């Protein structure tokens, strides 16, 4: 089914979005924790932490609509019991980390649920570094002038571990809808002394050893000591991840890029929504950074009414909606965007409508991306989104009674995609990950990729390419086109499993059994952990009379998915025939 054909589902979505206000709100990074006055967290006793733990357990069970969607209740209870027993022997940083680990156990698709790490609980201040996970590694984007020599270099060792090992250790305690969002948040957990001590990456929270490497392989090292958080900082420390220009760093800190110049997407990221018409490329670029109405000036609806009118007057060749920096807001306020695009015959065309996404695309912005993916012909470019198409959200904070630690707990399930859609993210059809060199040279590979594409090439989905190759040169040409498509790194996030499965069944129904087997075999090679591809290959082998191979395929499908009723019945049939 094409994206255009799926627009009929908007009737149901319209009913969903007609619900009264607060229920439809998804929230951007917390504007502030609003903490009361609590004692020094280092002075909280073991009994008080245990009471807080029991309070948190009950709060999660009572507030979350489905707390055990990813972890079994038994496993969660066991984790609670283990932590309760260990609390007397743990230091404060270790307790803080274990509370974070516990909330992270709620699993992917639950990135709104998290321990709020405010300066009150990171009492040592922060390591004066701003780190970023580029596609080619972890780099120092900016730093206190004392550590200027580290800026722009790749981090190869942090604390007492190799960078890769440190990232994996933090991944277990960092909440996130998916790996993309964790990649956004992990670098900021690395700047928190209590977290780094609690997870075992530093032995003295006041001393962070770091080793960096430049492009020539020459290494530098330093011991970084914490500094107080700026008095102007509000909210949680990880909110700095959503500040695209300097990630919350002071203006005097050196940066790995020339701050006097900026690519278009970093020209004014603090403006909630704005546009620029690129006349030479006949491209209308719209940056949408917060799903919220400005206190002064145009509302979201008024702004996009003006944008769509401008697009119509100029007969634009490309309409680019950039939501890569958008961490969310209020879902209701995004309706004018997708209402305006779904029925817009001028803009809603393959090769004409583009959406730039990234790891910071989350919450209400993720809801927008999901709806545009389902109901428009938009081509998505950039990185995978930081949210899942179907996920938990509308988090509300609870304050633990003794420590004052605040924990956000999701209260609603958002199903903007089909009920069976378990994708980890909305993936770009054309990958344009940001490398450290791109950032340092003020390049934007996402927009550059869009402007370099011809509308015909951009608007040609994988299945159409496969069909054209098959019609022109038969199976071998189709296989060659498939292999070339998979080899192109621009398509590394695109799943070809569904289209290839459909192509195989088309051939099977046409009586081209050997050709169908070849297509299904390619799908098995690409997706060996999918029970469905093995099941399909088993059916093709069965049609070819290759009983032994059919049995092997169905057995593999059943091994991966023991609830696969089709494999069970087919195996009974095949084994019966084999015995007969």
In-domain check, residue 384: yes
The packing angle between helices 92-104 and 46-63, to 10°, is 10
pLDDT band at residue 37, thresholds of 50, 70 and 90?
A: low
> Looking at the structure, do residues 222 and 82 belong to the same domain, yes or no?
yes
> Looking at the structure, do residues 301 and 244 belong to the same domain, yes or no?
no
> Looking at the structure, do residues 117 and 218 belong to the same domain, yes or no?
yes
The packing angle between helices 364-375 and 335-342, to 10°, is 10
In-domain check, residue 15: no
In-domain check, residue 18: no
pLDDT of residue 580: 62
Q: Which domain holds residue 483?
A: 461-579
The two structure tokens encoding residue 347: 């803009």
Task: Look up the CATH number of the domain holding residue 517.
Answer: 1.25.40.10
Cα distances (angstroms) measured from residue 130 to each of 1, 10, 21, 181, 255: 44, 42, 37, 17, 9
Task: Look up the CATH number of the domain holding residue 78.
Answer: 2.30.42.10
Q: DSSP secondary structure string, 435-497?
A: PHHHHHTT--HHHHHHHHS-HHHHT--HHHHHHHHHHHHHHHHHHHHHHHHHH-GGGTT---H
- Number of structural domains (the chain) is 3
> Looking at the structure, do residues 175 and 64 belong to the same domain, yes or no?
yes
Does the pLDDT of residue 31 top 50, yes or no? Answer: no
In-domain check, residue 23: no
> Looking at the structure, do residues 466 and 450 belong to the same domain, yes or no?
no
Least confident of 140-154, 390-404, 419-433, 448-462: 448-462
The two structure tokens encoding residue 10: 């908007």
Task: Look up the CATH number of the domain holding residue 361.
Answer: 3.90.226.10
- Kindly report, residue by residue over 199-246, the tens digit of the pLDDT: 999 998 889 999 999 999 999 999 999 998 876 566 788 888 888 998
Does the pLDDT of residue 8 top 70, yes or no? Answer: no
Place of tokens 């699993």: 107
What mean pLDDT do residues 428-450 have? Answer: 97
Least confident of 3-17, 111-125, 221-235, 281-295: 3-17
- Kindly report, residue by residue over 478-536, the tens digit of the pLDDT: 999 999 999 999 999 999 999 999 999 999 999 999 999 999 999 999 999 999 999 99
> Looking at the structure, do residues 67 and 111 belong to the same domain, yes or no?
yes
- Kindly report, residue by residue over 164-205, the tens digit of the pLDDT: 999 999 999 999 999 999 999 999 999 999 999 999 999 988
Per the CB < 8 A criterion, the answer to whether 386 and 366 are in contact is yes
In-domain check, residue 17: no
> Looking at the structure, do residues 295 and 162 belong to the same domain, yes or no?
no
Q: For residue 430, what are the β-bridge partners?
A: 381
Q: What are phi and psi of 457, to 5 degrees?
A: -70, -40
> Looking at the structure, do residues 266 and 244 belong to the same domain, yes or no?
no
> Looking at the structure, do residues 210 and 351 belong to the same domain, yes or no?
no
Q: Say how far apart CA 170 and CA 196 lie, in whole Å.
A: 9
> Looking at the structure, do residues 211 and 67 belong to the same domain, yes or no?
yes
Q: DSSP secondary structure string, 150-211?
A: GTT-EEEEETTEEHHHHHHHHHTTS--SSHHHHHHHHHHHTT-HHHHHHTTS-SSTT-EEEE
The two structure tokens encoding residue 247: 């990630």
> Looking at the structure, do residues 252 and 353 belong to the same domain, yes or no?
no
Does the pLDDT of residue 337 top 70, yes or no? Answer: yes
Query: Closest Cα to residue 284, out of 346, 364, 371?
Result: 346
Q: Find the helix or strand (DSSP H, E) in which 287 lies.
A: strand 283-288
In-domain check, residue 16: no
The two structure tokens encoding residue 125: 């201040």
Does the pLDDT of residue 312 top 50, yes or no? Answer: yes
pLDDT band at residue 578, thresholds of 50, 70 and 90?
A: confident
In the chain, what percentage of residues exceed pLDDT 90? Answer: 84
| 66 burial level (CB within 10 Å; 0-12, 13-18, 19+) | exposed
In-domain check, residue 299: yes
> Looking at the structure, do residues 251 and 300 belong to the same domain, yes or no?
no
In-domain check, residue 26: no
């Amino acid at each position: 089914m094409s994206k255009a054909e799926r627009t009929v589902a908007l009737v149901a979505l319209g009913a969903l979005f007609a619900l009264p206000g607060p229920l439809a709100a998804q929230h951007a990074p917390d504007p502030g924790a609003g903490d009361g006055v609590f004692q020094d967290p280092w002075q909280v006793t073991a009994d008080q932490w245990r009471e807080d733990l029991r309070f948190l357990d009950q709060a999660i069970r009572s507030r979350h609509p489905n707390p055990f969607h990813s972890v079994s209740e038994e496993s969660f209870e066991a984790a609670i019991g283990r932590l309760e027993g260990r609390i007397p022997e743990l230091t404060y940083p270790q307790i803080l980390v274990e509370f974070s680990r516990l909330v992270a156990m709620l699993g992917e698709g639950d990135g709104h649920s998290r321990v709020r790490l405010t300066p009150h609980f990171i009492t040592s201040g922060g390591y004066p570094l701003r780190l970023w996970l580029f596609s080619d590694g972890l780099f120092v984007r900016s730093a206190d002038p004392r550590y200027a020599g580290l800026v722009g270099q790749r981090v190869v060792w942090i604390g007492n571990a190799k960078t890769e090992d440190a990232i994996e250790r933090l991944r277990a305690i960092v909440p996130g809808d998916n790996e993309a969002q964790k990649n956004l948040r992990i670098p900021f957990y690395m700047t928190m002394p209590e977290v780094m001590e609690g997870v075992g990456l530093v032995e003295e929270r006041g001393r962070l050893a770091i080793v960096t490497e430049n492009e020539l392989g020459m290494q530098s090292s330093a011991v970084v000591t914490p500094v107080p958080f700026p008095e102007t900082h509000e909210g949680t420390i990880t909110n700095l991840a959503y500040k695209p220009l300097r990630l919350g760093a002071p203006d005097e800190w050196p940066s790995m890029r020339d701050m006097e110049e900026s690519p278009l997407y970093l020209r004014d990221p603090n403006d909630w929504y704005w546009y620029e018409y690129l006349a030479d490329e006949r491209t209308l670029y719209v940056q949408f950074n917060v799903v919220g109405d400005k206190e002064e000036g145009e509302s979201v609806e008024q702004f996009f009414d003006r944008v769509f009118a401008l697009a119509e007057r100029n007969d634009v060749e490309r309409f680019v909606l950039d939501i890569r920096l958008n961490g969310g807001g209020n879902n209701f306020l995004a309706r004018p965007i997708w209402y305006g695009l779904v029925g817009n015959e001028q803009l809603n065309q393959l090769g004409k409508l583009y959406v730039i996404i990234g790891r910071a695309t989350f919450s209400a912005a993720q809801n927008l991306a999901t709806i545009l993916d389902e109901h428009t012909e938009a081509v998505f470019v950039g990185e995978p989104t930081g949210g899942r198409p179907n996920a938990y959200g509308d988090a509300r904070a609870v304050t633990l009674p003794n420590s004052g630690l605040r924990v956000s707990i999701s209260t609603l399930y958002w199903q903007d995609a089909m009920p069976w859609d378990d994708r980890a993210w909305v993936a770009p059809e054309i990958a344009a990950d940001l490398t450290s060199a791109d950032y340092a040279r003020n390049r934007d590979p996402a927009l550059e990729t869009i402007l370099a594409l011809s509308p015909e090439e951009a608007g040609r989905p994988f299945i159409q390419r496969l069909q054209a190759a098959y019609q022109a040169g038969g199976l071998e040409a189709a296989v060659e086109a498939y292999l070339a498509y998979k080899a192109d790194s621009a398509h590394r996030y695109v799943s070809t499993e569904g289209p290839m499965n459909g192509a195989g069944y088309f051939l099977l129904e046409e009586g081209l059994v050997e050709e169908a087997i070849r297509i299904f075999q390619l799908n098995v090679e690409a997706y060996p952990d999918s029970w469905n591809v093995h099941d399909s290959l088993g059916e093709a082998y069965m049609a070819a009379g290759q009983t032994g191979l059919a049995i092997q395929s169905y057995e593999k499908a059943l091994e991966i998915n023991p609830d696969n009723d089709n494999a069970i019945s087919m195996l009974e049939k095949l084994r019966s025939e084999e015995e007969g």
